[in-house]
Structure 1
Amino acid sequence: MFDIGVNLTSTQFAKDRDSVVKRAQQAGITGLLLTGTNALESQQAQSLASRRPGYCWSTAGVHPHHAAEWSAETAATLKRLAESEQVVAIGECGLDFNRNISEPEQQVYAFKAQLKLAAELAMPVFLHCREAHDRFLEVLTPWLPALPGAVVHCFTGTQSELEACLAAGLCIGITGWVCDERRGTELRSLMPLIPADRLLLETDAPWLLPRDMRPRPPSRRNEPCFLPHIVQQVAALRGEEAESLGQQCDRNARRLFRLAD
């Protein structure tokens, strides 16, 4: 099992990051991809990954919430980070029109700049899309021929949106959202529609603690060690064995991010 979305730079992990990684290893997690969401956190993620070679890697990017921070200096920082062996994707980048913490056109500008960078460096992209599907694909599609791969992280869209993402050749990242009986009902029904070689799994820790976990952790904090619960749930929804699904998703992650087995 490979967790492609871990926000290990979060202050929620400030006191026990080493223990979090150790628990992940003990739970059978074979690798962690640490998410960079702005210039500073991308640097922090790369630094954390460098302490655990062969087990942790990272992304370098600017989340749409931070798009207003985009600058030439930010672009230079991401390019420098991308030269390190730990950084295996550009992102988290994309569009989020749910909250518009950055203005939509600022988001589009930063998104295009990161796609350009990924194309120049021939790197895959780690994508974010929320309530922006049409504009997201409009911006992304022209760059896809120049990109070696892409994953829509934490996919929570509709069937038509899933079909459009798959038609564009994107991989699909699934989180514990699928374990939420309030918000995840439609997403559950989509699990069998994702081709086995396009499915990736993630916790998005410390966010999105699976709602149906029992007993629930006292901290209410999600961790990579809870990925097996998500694997079990997704496997059941797809009518597959959890162990084989976990192994398939591990292979998918290593192929997309070009990691050694």
Structure 2
Amino acid sequence: MAVSSCHSKEDFDFLTGESLASFGIHPQAVNSSYMEKDFSSDLAYLESLLESKKIVAIGECGFDFFTPDFKSTAREQEIAFESQLDLAQKYKLPLVLHLRKSIEKIFTYSRELKKVPAVIFHSFPGTLREAESLKNHGLNAFFSFGKPLLNGKKSAIDCVKNLPVENLLFETDAPYQTLKDEEFTSPQEIERVYRAASEIRGISMEELAAVIEENFTRAFQSYFA
């Protein structure tokens, strides 16, 4: 089972027949023009989905300071994120976080994030120490990893090897998160991610898959309740 993240009404209408869905205002989409023209309507649409119980989580949302252009919209990103955090608390749904070059930013919200049922760190970009610190701040945190495990990304491998398995999730981020010379990623490549993770953990794919299924149920418990 998987969750598809949507960031527009068109995305949502296209994807929701295929899988569980989340909806969020992505930090890369936020700028002054967006805040003036589209933010209020997108936020209202998000709340309409929450009221009608059509989504299982809010996100991807969060912060992206990867480029100077993205970093210049830090204040707008804060407004968008805080609005979605408020809704996650109000409707008691998990948040799916997108963080690039901004992991330290999320620590400033740790007190409020403790009030959210679960926090799923999409393609977690941080270190093992940062993951452990987030857990120690009292977040019900799940750290998700994808094809960087196949790329030999040291921080991702370190997290998968040493974090409690009960805090792990895996993903493909299809069609994104490609390896060298790849044009896109297929959802079916989740098997490669699981195979890499099972080798890192030193357990069978079957054993790992069973635990991750339990983690998924706990992360999105409001849907399964």
Candidates 63, 73, 83, aligned match of 1:113: 83
Structure 1: unaligned runs, 5 residues or longer = 1-30
Distance 2:114 2:126 in 1: 24
Please point out which of 233, 240, 245 is paired with 2:196.
233
Correspondence for 2:103: 133
2:10 to 44, 58, 62: 44
**RMSD between aligned alpha carbons?**
2.0
Structure 2 unaligned regions, length at least 5:
none
- Residue 248 of structure 1: aligned partner: 211
Q: Distance in 1 between matches of 2:187 and 2:80?
A: 29
- Distance in 2 (alpha carbons) for counterparts of 1:159 and 1:255: 22
2:66 paired residue among 77, 98, 101: 98
Give the superposition deviation at 1:94.
Answer: 0.6
TM-score, normalisation: structure 1: 0.76
Among 59, 63, 76, which residue is 2:26 paired with? 63
Provide the rounded CA distance (Å) in 2 between the counterparts of 1:65 and 1:125. 17
Q: Using the TM superposition, give the Cα deviation of residue 109 of structure 1 relative to its aligned residue in structure 2, in angstroms.
A: 1.3
Tell me by how many angstroms 1:210 deviates. 5.0
* Aligned-partner Cα distance in 2 for 1:84–1:174: 30
Separation (CA, whole Å) in 1 of partners of 2:216 and 2:15: 16
Partner of 2:49: 81
The answer to whether the Cα contact below 8 Å between 1:34 and 1:45 also exists between their aligned partners in 2 is no
Shift of 1:60: 1.0
Q: CA deviation at 1:111?
A: 0.8
Q: Structure 1 250/45 Cα, relative in aligned 2: closer, same or farther at 3 Å? A: farther
Kindly tell me the number of residue pairs found equivalent between the two proteins.
215
Q: Could you list the runs of 4 or more consecutive aligned residues of structure 1 that deviate by over 3 angstroms after TM superposition?
A: none
Instruction: Give CA deviations for 1:41-96 in whole Å, capped at 9, x if unaligned.
Output: xx2343245424xxx11111111111222422221111012234441001111111
Asked if the contact 1:126–1:153 (Cα under 8 Å) also holds between the matched residues in 2, the reply is yes
Match of 2:160? 191
Letter in 2 for 1:133: I
- Specify the code of the residue in structure 1 equivalent to 2:29: H
Does the 8 A contact of 2:15 with 2:21 survive in 1?
yes
Whether 1:35 aligns to 2:1 is no
Alignment of 1:152-231 (within 5 A): 152-168=121-137, 169=139, 170-181=141-152, 184-209=153-178, 220-231=183-194
Deviations 1:90-137 (A, max 9, x none): 111111111243611111111111101111111110011111122222
Q: Which residue of 2 aligns with 1:146?
A: 115
The CA distance in 2 between the partners of 1:135 and 1:149, in whole Å, is 18
Identity %: 25
Q: Give the whole-Å Cα distance in 1 for the aligned partners of 2:110 and 2:43.
A: 21
Indicate if the aligned counterparts of 2:172 and 2:189 stay in contact, CA closer than 8 A: yes
How far, CA to CA, are the matches of 1:167 and 1:48 in structure 2? 39
